[in-house]
Amino acid sequence: MLSRVASNIYWMARYIERAENTARLINVNTHLLLDLPRRVRLGWEPIVDITSSRDYFYSLYDDADERSVIRFMVMDLNNNSSILSMLSMARENARAVRDIIPREAWEQINELYMRAKKDAPGVLTQRHRYDYMRSIILGAQTITGLLAGTMTHDEGYDFLRMGRNLERADMTTRIIDVRSAALLPDMSEDMTTFENLQWMSVLKSLTAYQMYRREMRLQISRPDVLKFLLQEDRFPRAFNHALNEAKSCLFDLPANDKPLQLIARLERKLMRAKPQALKQDKLHDFIDELQIGLIDINNCISEVYF
Amino acid sequence: MAIRWGSYKVKNLFDELLRASGRPRPAAQALCSYLRTLKDRDIEAYKTAAESAIHVMGVTFTVYSEDEGSIDRVWPFDIIPRIIDKKEWQRIEAGLKQRVKALNLFIDDLYHKQQIVTDGVFPGELLEDSKNFRPQCVDVDPPLGIWAHICGSDLVRDKDGTIYVLEDNLRVPSGVSYMLENRQVMKRVFPEMFEQHNILPVDDYPSQLYDTLAALSPRPGNQPEIVVLTPGVYNSAYFEHAYLAQQMGAELVVGSDLVVGEDNVVYMRTIEGLTRVDVIYRRVDDLFLDPEVFNPESALGVPGLMRAWKSGNVALANAPGAGVADDKVVYAFVPEMIKYYLKQEPILPNVPTYKCIDKQDRQYVIENIARMVVKPANESGGYGMLIGPHASKEEREKFVRLIRRDPRNYVAQPMLTLSTAPTLIGNRVEPRHLDLRPFILSSKKTYVTTGGLTRVALRKGSSVVNSSQGGGSKDTWVVDLEAS
C-alpha cells in the first residue's frame, strides 16, 4: 500500500472523528449552560481551550461570547479546527483516495461537507443548533458504519481505524482536562449538585452517560467518571479502549515494533496511575503525559509508514 | 409516438443511422424500429435511468474553479447510440493499425538515424522548431522499439461518407473511460437490445491495456509492478486515471509517491518501505515528467525519471518524445510515412491538408482562406484555430499575416461537414454532428478498441465536440449483421 494513500486514509478518519467530537462538545455545552445557575456558568471559552486554539481565537475575536465561539468552532475556515475546515480536509483526503475507499463512502463524505456548509449559518441560533450538530454526528457515524460494512478490512482499513481511535483518545483527554480544570474549584457544599451536573455533561459529550450508569451503577462522581473514561477497556470512547484498538490495527502492519513499544509504554502509564486520586493540578499533569504519549505515537506512525 | 423520423432531416450530409431517403441503414434497422415503438414516457424513463446510472457510477470530469474548489461535472450522455457495421469497422481497424505502426517507426527513426530525412521524404527543418521533438530522447531504445503505446486517433466522416483521420493523439490521449462507462450505462438502460442483437463488446480494454503495459516490463518473468502516474485530483481526467488504475489493479500514484534511487531504479513509497516499479503508464505531459531534465519547477514529476528510463530500468508509456508525431504539420506527412516505411497505400485517408511551409500550398491557402480551417501545429482542444467560413474579414487577414510570418507552424484543411446521428434534444430527435476516437494499443501485438468514444456536438449546427465546449458523448455500437 502506498504511503501517501495510508496517510490520506489515516487523516481522513482523524478529521471526520474530530468533526464529530467537536459537534458533540458544542451540543453538550449548549445544554449545560441551560442547566447551570447564571453565577456559575462557564460560558464558551472552555470549548476554545479544548481545541488548544485560545491565542488564535483572541487574535480574531474580542470576546468569547456564544456567537463568536460558535462561529469560530463551526464555520470559520480560518480556524483549522472548525467543523467545516475539518470536513473539508477530510473530503480532500478522501478525494485523493477515491479509488481505494468504496464509492458510497466518498459520496457520503462529499455530501456531509456540502450539507454542513449549506446549513452552517443556522447554528448561530440555538433552535437550529441541536439539529445541525446531530446531523454532523450522524453523518460521521454513517461514514464510519459504511466503511466498516463495505471496505475490505485490509491495511487501508487498519490505518482508518487507527486514525479514528487515536483521535478519539485524544479528544477524551481534552474534554476531561478542560472540564475538570474549569470545575468550580472552591465551591461551597451546596454546589456539589452542580459539580455533578458538570461531570454528567462530560459523560454526555462522549455519549458515555448511559454506559457509565450500566457499568458503574453509581452516582455520578469525579473519581468514577475519571476511572471510567480513562481506564475502562470496553467503552469505545474510553482512552484505554481506543488505545487497544490502535494496537490491534498495528498487529496487522509491517515494521510495527516501534509504534507498538510506544503504545505499550503509554498503556503501562495509564493503567498504573490512579487518576481518581489525583488532585486537580496533578490530574492536569497526568493528562499532559497521556497527550504527549499520543503525539509520540502519531509521530512514530508518520515516520514509519508515511 | 415520440420519435417522428419523418421530421428528421438528413439532406446534404451523411447521417450515421439514416439514409437520405429517411430509411435506416441496415445496421441501424433494429434500433430504429425499436425506438419507434417507444412512447414519450418510455423515453423519459430511459433518459432518467441513464442519468441516474451516470450519477451513481460517478462518471465525471473535473473543472477547477477558485471559489468552489474542484467540481465534478457529469458529461452529457445521449442514449441513442451511434452504429457502425462490423464490415466497415474491420477496414477502419486495419487502417488504424497500419497508421500507428508507421507512426511508431517514424518516431523511432527520428530519434535515431533520421533515415526518412536523409531520403528526402520528410523535411528535416521541421524538426528544428518542433515543440515536441525532445533532444533528450535521441538514441534511446525503448522496449520493443515502440514509443506510442496508447494512441487515440480522431476520425470524422464527410458528407460523401468518406472516413478521414483528423488527428492522432500520441501524448496522453483521454476518453477511453467514458467509452467503457457509456457501455455500462447502455446495458442498464437497453438490456433487450444487447440480448437480441450482435453488438460487439468493448469491455476488454483494461485487460488489453494491462497486457500492453506488462509486455514492457524490464524484468520479464516477474509479476510486473505497474502504476498509473496522474497529475492529481485537480486534473480534468483524474476520474479516468483512477478508473483505469482500478480496472487494471494497478496503483494510482502521484509524482511524490515515486523516487529514483542512486541505482537509477524507480521505487514507490509504500508502508513496507520502497518497492520497485517496472512500468509507468504516465498521464503527465513530457515537460513535467522529470524536473532534472525538463521543467525544473514541476512538482508533478519525479526527479531522475529520465535517467531510470534511459537506463532501461523502467518503461514509460507513452515514451517521452512520442508527441513529436502529434503535430499538425507532421500529421500531413503520415500518408508518405506509410508508403515509406511499410511500402503500402494508406487504408484511411488524411483530411486533405495544405502545408503552409510548401510555397504552392501556402499560396493556395491564402487565396482560399475563406473556405479553409487553419490550424496551428502544436495546439490541441481547438485553440488558436481559424474557421474560415465563420470568421470575420479581420480575423482572416490576421491569419494570412500569421501564416506569412511563420509558415511552418500552420496547416490548412478544407471545411468538412461532419456526419450526424439522431440525438435526443428535449423529447425530439434531431441530427447532431459527431466524431469518433478509437484507441490503439501497441506493444507485442496491436489492439484497437471496438468502435471507440463517440463525441457529439450538442449545440445545433456546431461541429465542436470537446467536453469543455458543449460536447457530449454516445455509446458506439459495432454491429455484426452476419452473426445475428
pLDDT score of B67 = 46
ipTM of the modeled complex: 0.77
Cα dihedral B281→B283→B287→B293 (10° resolution): -30
Q: Do residue B330 and residue B391 come from a single domain?
A: no
Please check whether residue B330 lies inside any domain of the structure: yes
Q: Do residue B359 and residue B239 come from a single domain?
A: no
pLDDT score of B412 = 93
Name the minimum distance, in Å, from the CA of A157 to any CA of chain B. Answer: 13
Please check whether residue B282 lies inside any domain of the structure: yes
Residues on chain A touching B253 (C-beta within 8 angstroms): 2, 4
pLDDT score of B62 = 58
Residues on chain B touching A155 (C-beta within 8 angstroms): 271
C-alpha cell at B367: 487565396
- Residue in B232, B243, B271 nearest the CB of A6: B271
Q: Do residue B316 and residue B212 come from a single domain?
A: yes
Residue B105 domain boundaries: 94-142+203-342
Q: Which of B220, B240, B222 is nearest to B231 (CA)?
A: B240
CATH number at B253 reads 3.40.50.11290
- Residue in B58, B242, B271 nearest the CB of A254: B271
Q: Do residue B132 and residue B258 come from a single domain?
A: yes
Residues on chain B touching A105 (C-beta within 8 angstroms): none
pLDDT score of A183 = 56
- Residue in A2, A6, A305 nearest the CB of B253: A2
Q: What is the mean pLDDT of chain A?
A: 89
B368, B394, B414 - which closes a domain? B414
Residue B13 vs residues A299, B358, B473: alpha-carbon distances, Å: 67, 32, 20
Please answer whether residues B177 and B184 qualify as being in contact, where contact means their C-beta atoms are separated by less than 8 angstroms. Answer: no
CB contacts < 8 A, A to B, total: 43
- Residue in B58, B254, B271 nearest the CB of A253: B271
Residue A77 domain boundaries: 3-305
Q: Do residue B372 and residue B335 come from a single domain?
A: no
Residue of A84, A95, A157, A162 best to disrupt the B interface, most CBs of B under 10 A:
A95
Nearby residues of B164 by Cβ (< 8 Å), 6 or more positions away: B155, B156, B157, B158, B348, B349, B350, B351, B416
Whether A128 has its CB under 8 Å from any CB of chain B: the answer is no
Q: Do residue B213 and residue B361 come from a single domain?
A: no
Kindly calculate the radius of gyration of chain B based on its CA atoms and give it in whole angstroms: 23
- Residue in B70, B232, B246 nearest the CB of A99: B246
- In which residue ranges of chain B is pLDDT below 50? 1, 65-68
pLDDT score of B471 = 85
Whether B233 has its CB under 8 Å from any CB of chain A: the answer is yes
Identify any residues that bridge with B156 across adjacent strands, giving them in sequence order. Answer: B164
Please answer whether residues B278 and B228 qualify as being in contact, where contact means their C-beta atoms are separated by less than 8 angstroms. Answer: no
Whether A155 has its CB under 8 Å from any CB of chain B: the answer is yes
Residues on chain A touching B232 (C-beta within 8 angstroms): 96
Print burial letters for B454-471: b (CB count within 10 Å at least 16), e (below 16).
bbbbbeeeebbbebeeeb
Instruction: Report the number of distinct structural domains present in chain B.
Output: 2
Q: Do residue B402 and residue B280 come from a single domain?
A: no
Instruction: Report the number of distinct structural domains present in chain A.
Output: 1
Q: Do residue B369 and residue B396 come from a single domain?
A: yes
CATH number at B406 reads 3.30.1490.270
Name the minimum distance, in Å, from the CA of A139 to any CA of chain B. Answer: 19
Whether B67 has its CB under 8 Å from any CB of chain A: the answer is no
3-state helix/strand/coil string of A92-118: HHHHHCCCCCCHHHHHHHHHHHHHHHH
C-alpha cell at B295: 521543467
Residues on chain A touching B257 (C-beta within 8 angstroms): 2-4
B342, B369, B394 - which closes a domain? B342
Q: Do residue B307 and residue B245 come from a single domain?
A: yes
Q: Do residue B266 and residue B126 come from a single domain?
A: yes
Name the minimum distance, in Å, from the CA of B272 to any CA of chain A. Answer: 6
Name the minimum distance, in Å, from the CA of B102 to any CA of chain A. Answer: 36
Please check whether residue B69 lies inside any domain of the structure: no
Residue of A3, A8, A92, A162 best to disrupt the B interface, most CBs of B under 10 A:
A3
Cα dihedral B144→B217→B254→A258 (10° resolution): -160
Please check whether residue B216 lies inside any domain of the structure: yes
In whole angstroms, what is the distance from residue A288 CA to residue B333 CA?
74
Please check whether residue B88 lies inside any domain of the structure: no
Please check whether residue B449 lies inside any domain of the structure: no
C-alpha cell at A17: 472523528
B366, B385, B414 - which closes a domain? B414
- In which residue ranges of chain A is pLDDT below 50? 186, 188
Q: Do residue B281 and residue B135 come from a single domain?
A: yes
Name the minimum distance, in Å, from the CA of B192 to any CA of chain A. Answer: 28
3-state helix/strand/coil string of A250-295: HHCCCCCHHHHHHHHHHHHHHHHCCHHHCCHHHHHHHHHHHHHHHH
Q: Do residue B228 and residue B366 come from a single domain?
A: no
pLDDT score of A177 = 80
pLDDT score of A191 = 60
